[in-house]
Chain A
Amino acid sequence: MHQRAAISLALASLVAVGLFGCGASEAVDTSPTSTSGQGSTQYPLTIDNCGTQTVVDAPPQRVVSLDQNSTEIMLSLGLADQLVGTASWTDPVLDSLASANSEVPRLSDNAPSYEVVLDTDPDFVTASFGRHFAQGGVASRERFAETGIGSYLSPTDCDNGTSINGGGTRTHALTIDALYEEITELGAIFDVPDRAATLIEGLKARAAAATQGIDFAGATVAFWFADTKTPYMAGGLSAAGLLATTVDLDNVFAGSPEDWPATTWESVADRDPHILVLGDLQRDRFPGDRLDDKISFLESDPLTQTIDAVRNKRYIVLHGAELNPSIRFVDGLEKIQSWLREHKDEL
């Protein structure tokens, strides 16, 4: 009985597949894609990017950006037409880029699968974090290269040829130059070097203005990203650590080489920072992601209540993207500057 059921099921499926599978093959468009650009970049362009050589023969026309930081740089360079998919969104897009972003399909709020990325028929993939190219990520850079898809990893995630987010540890502190390097390299790859230069000049000007007249008088700070049980605090070599050194704040966890080490409230209370920078994360996935949750936790927990920053309510609020290496770093500087202007007397 089972035999007959199995055979009939198999035959039925075969017939169904046969019926649907009949028909003419789909036509493949082999016409050359139009290339537009300034004509400044010499192709083929070889980029040595975090231990992988990427050769670009022409400005990529169908790009998937796997991280929000990379997406915002691309949009700022006016490359919305070349973007065919975005992923890994931690915050709402920058207001100035919202209309350009609305034209670009969002593949996933988190990391997409390899199939989903390939379905957009990309010729280039960019990422800010190396985990997408590591085991358990989307696919390795070699696998993308097998189907002729070039890949690019942000230099902010690179240290001596290894990806930090992909499993390495920083040996030296992140500098703002890595971010400018990313913008310059993307400008070269997509043949828009002038736009890249303009973007960098703008960021540099804003950064210089934001650090004007900042004097924290030797105050100490801790950057709290998320998690109320094992708080993730910024280490010294990270982007948040760079914020601290740029405005001359003393990061109490500067000794840790990790970007976001998991710490304990005991060690935070022991170091007793004057100021707490709180990450306001839109993802709202874990307890303490949102700002309100963070503040209510800090002010109700008997241990955290003793911290100097909590007792005096010295909180600087930054978005998740402002605490990670991205063009929003400058927004972070500006927010710190405006907080200081308002609260200078309290220090």
Chain B
Amino acid sequence: MLAGLLLLLVSVGVAITLGPADILLVNVRDIVTNHLGLTDIAVKMSKNAIVWEERLPRAFVAAACGAGLGLCGVIMQSLLRNPLADPFILGVSSGASTGAVVIGVLGLGGAAIGLSGGAFIGALIAFGLVLLLARLSGGGTDRVVLAGVASTQLFSAVTSLIIFAFADSDETRGVMFWLLGSLEGMRWDDVVLCAIVVVIGSFVCLRYAHALDAFAFGDDVAASLGIHVTRTRAVLLVATALITATLVSVAGAVGFVGLVLPHAARLLVGPRHARLVPATAIIGAIFMVWVDAGSRVAFSPTPLPVGVGTALVGVPVFIALLARRRRRT
């Protein structure tokens, strides 16, 4: 675990040296030490802004998103006993998209709420709908999945409707970027928000690690092991929805991470949640930091949405992991 954290720190350190702007390592070192209060070396304002106000917040938000979405993926897959579940199964990302386009394209609420605020509200509404539908249809994990599918489709359709009916081509492109997941324009207050959410989320997950292990055997077995099934499920679903809603409203819907990283972590450290949860978080964080650095550089000067990079890079890595596993067993 400690090794993982060290690797994450080093990843962040290396990632902030990468980018389309040609900034020497000595400059990066100077900028970082200046801000940490250790030195007071003269650095060009533009380079300082690039490293400290653009690359570093991005790297931290990427790490937080990777960790948070990975965590939510683990919870969803264990809770719903479905290996194809991901954090977006609760309709959260579609609801966030709808919220964002309502603010961005229709202009309701406007500057007071902002795109992220609108996205968060939309996400919560979608999740509320999922809970309502699940409750109306009798509860249970399969009902939750179906309700999630219905909610996702509904809000995706509404998003598309608003875009096609009201947005011009430039607005559409701006929204598209966000829909695919984008770390452009991340600032330090985004970092603080995401970090708080992910840290709290990790503690919640670790606390329920035992319960998640038990859920793998079904509701009845879990209940017989002394787990409050309905209450635990409710707490975990709400926690997942809140974490995902926050991360999606900051960085858009970054796909692949929540679905595949839990499996990758499981292949590396096994299915016990006490180890799986921290492993997924750290692997997710490291993965996203590198993909973000890559998407800065790959098609420079045009930025690549990070959600595109996660799938393009993640799929081959995952295939390699699967192949390795097959050869061993």
Pair B30/A115 contact, Cβ less than 8 Å: no
Indicate which residue in A6, A111, A115 contacts B21 across the interface (CB closer than 8 Å): A115
Knowing A113-B296, A136-B174 are in contact, say whether A17-B13 is a contact too (CB < 8 A). Answer: yes
Q: Known: A2-B268, A6-B3, A26-B27. Contact between A119 and B175, CB under 8 A? A: no
Pairwise interchain contact B296-A135, C-beta atoms closer than 8 A: no
In the complex the two chains form, is A21's CB within 8 Å of B29's CB? yes
Specify which chain A residues have a CB less than 8 angstroms from the CB of B22 in the assembled complex. 119
Task: Give the residues from 142 to 170 in chain A that come closer than 8 angstroms, CB to CB, to chain B.
Answer: 143, 146-148, 165, 167
Which residue of the partner chain B has the closest CB to A121? B46
Q: Mark B156-198, 1 if CB is under 8 A from A, else 0.
A: 0000000000001111011101100010110000000000000
Q: Which residues of A contact B26 (CB under 8 A)?
A: 21-26
- Interface code B186-223, partner A: CB below 8 Å = 1, 0 otherwise? 00000000000000000000000000000000000000
Known: A21-B25, A116-B21. A135 touches B43 (CB 8 A): no
Q: With A113-B20, A146-B49, A167-B104 as given contacts, are A258 and B42 in contact (CB-CB < 8 Å)?
A: no
Q: Mark B71-106, 1 if CB is under 8 A from A, else 0.
A: 000000000000000000000000000000000110
Cα-based distance from A146 to B188 in the complex (angstroms): 14
Complex Cα distance, B28 from A23, in Å, reads: 12
Residues A119 and B170 in contact, CB atoms below 8 Å apart: no
Contact of A135 with B104 in the complex, beta carbons under 8 Å: yes
Nearest CB of chain B from residue A222's CB, rounded to whole Å: 18
Taking a contact as CB atoms under 8 Å apart, the answer to whether A17 and B21 are in contact is no
Whole-angstrom distance between the Cβ of B134 and the nearest chain A Cβ: 33
Query: How many pairs, one residue from A and one from B, have CB atoms within 8 Å of each other in the complex?
Result: 132
Given contacts A136-B175, A165-B170, contact A115 B28 (CB under 8 A): no
- In the assembled complex, the Cα of A262 lies from the Cα of B41 at a distance in Å of 54
The answer to whether A134 has its CB under 8 Å from any CB of chain B is yes
Size class of A's contact patch?
A: 35 or more
The verdict on B233 contacting chain A, using a C-beta distance below 8 Å, is no
Closest to B44 in A: A28
A262 / chain B contacts, CB cutoff of 8 Å = 168-169
| Alpha-carbon separation in the docked complex, A119 to B22 (Å) | 7
**Contact (Cβ within 8 A) A115 B54:** yes
Interface size on B, residues (CB 8 A): 54
CB of B10 within 8 A of chain A?
Answer: yes
| A122: chain B residues within 8 A (beta carbon) | 46
What are the residues of chain B within 8 A of A110 when measuring CB–CB? 302
Given contacts A21-B25, A167-B104, contact A147 B171 (CB under 8 A): no
Q: How far is the CA of A13 from the CA of B7 in the complex (A)?
A: 9
Shortest C-beta distance, A154 to chain B (Å), equals: 15
- Find out whether the CB atom of B174 lies under 8 angstroms from the CB atom of A115: no
Closest to B20 in A: A116
CA–CA, A270 to B105, complex, Å?
A: 29
Name the residue on B nearest A106 (C-beta).
B301
Determine if A118 and B6 form an interchain contact, defined as CB atoms under 8 angstroms apart: no
Query: When the two chains form the complex, which single residue of B24, B50, B175, B269 contacts A115, counting CB atoms closer than 8 Å?
Result: B50
For A131, give its contact among B3, B13, B174, B182 (CB under 8 Å): B174
Partner-B contacts on A (CB < 8 A): 2-3, 6-7, 9-10, 13-14, 17, 20-28, 30, 87, 107-108, 110-116, 118-122, 129, 131, 134-137, 139, 143, 146-148, 165, 167, 232, 258-262
Given contacts A2-B269, A131-B174, 9 further A-B contacts (CB under 8 A): A13-B13, A14-B10, A28-B43, A113-B20, A118-B21, A118-B49, A119-B21, A129-B170, A135-B178
